[in-house]
Amino acid sequence: MKKILLLLALGASLLADNILEEIDRNLTPVSAQMYKKLINIEPDGSKKEFLIFQAKKDRDKMISLFLEPDSEKGRATLRLGENMWLYIPNVGRPLRITSMQSVVGGVFNNADIMRLDFTTEYDVSKNEKNEEGYTLELKAKSDTVSYDRLVMQVDGKSMTPISIECYTSTGMLIKTLYYKKLKDFGDKIVRPAVVETVSPMYKGYKSIMIYGKITPKSFADEAFTLDNLSKASDLRR
């Protein structure tokens, strides 16, 4: 009987892991380039917008290059696992930044903007089937991950998130991400084109991330180094 229960538990765990892996691949290919617009909205209704090009390789490497506004043009960020750096033209060596900081301000932090695969950072601790699809509870694999626990509502048809609640290790809700407007980007990529976030820590503020294009593409490993971060614009060629 114990052996049967163990096998059932293992089977459930593998199913949950497979679901999270499927969600990752539906959101972004293993290696790809993409364009995003970030919009920060303040309580008075004023907005600040950014246009970003991103290159992702494997499960733990990402570069972001700022294209607009002119005041940010040429800035670039590099993420290798949980390590992140910011390059500012004419400043010299890249500066170390953290996942909970935000290079654009607003509610999105650096980890949100340079999102890695969920399976890279989280294990599935709970999986429940519901009318819409699934509810997954994810636990961070280490204490360096920006959120200790996620509660993800998953659309069972598209196998992409509907919403994600982000919590600290003490159970405090940091923010909620809402995934909206399912779009076919081509190359068998069908995912929400818009991600909105609000936070009880930022009353009246909202940040929006709009995906304009996602294309599978291979990149050389050497592109994702501090020495080459100043050449991030070359990745668009």
Q: What percent of the chain has a predicted confidence (pLDDT) above 90?
A: 88
Fold of 2-236: outer membrane lipoprotein receptor (LolB), chain A (2.50.20)
Average pLDDT over residues 206-212: 98
Tokens representing residue 49 in the block: 């917008």
Q: What is the pLDDT of residues 17-45, one digit of tens each?
A: 799 999 999 999 999 999 999 999 999 99
Per residue in 31-59, is it b (16+ CB within 10 Å) or e — as a string? ebbbbbbbbbbeeeeeeeebbbbbbbbeb
Q: What per-residue confidence (pLDDT) applies to 12? A: 47
Average pLDDT, the chain: 92
Tokens representing residue 17 in the block: 């892991």
Give ∠ CA 65-71-75 in degrees, rounded to 5: 25
Q: What is the pLDDT of residues 47-72, one digit of tens each?
A: 999 999 999 999 899 999 999 999 99
At 222, the pLDDT band (50, 70, 90 cuts) reads very high
Q: Domain residue spans in the chain?
A: 2-236
| CA end-to-end span of the chain | 59
Q: What is the pLDDT of residues 154-167, one digit of tens each?
A: 999 999 999 999 99
- CA 210 to CA 207: how far, in whole Å? 10
At 1, the pLDDT band (50, 70, 90 cuts) reads low
At 16, the pLDDT band (50, 70, 90 cuts) reads confident
HEC string of the chain equals CHHHHHHHHHHHHHHHHHHHHHHHHHHCCCCEEEEEEEEEECCCCCEEEEEEEEEEECCCEEEEEEEECCCCCCCEEEEECCEEEEECCCCCCCEEECCCCCCCCCCCCHHHHCCCCHHHHEEEEEEEECCCEEEEEEEECCCCCCCCEEEEEEECCCCEEEEEEEECCCCCEEEEEEEEEEEECCCCCEEEEEEEEECCCCCCCEEEEEEEEEEECCCCHHHCCHHHHHHHHHHHC
Q: What per-residue confidence (pLDDT) applies to 2? A: 45
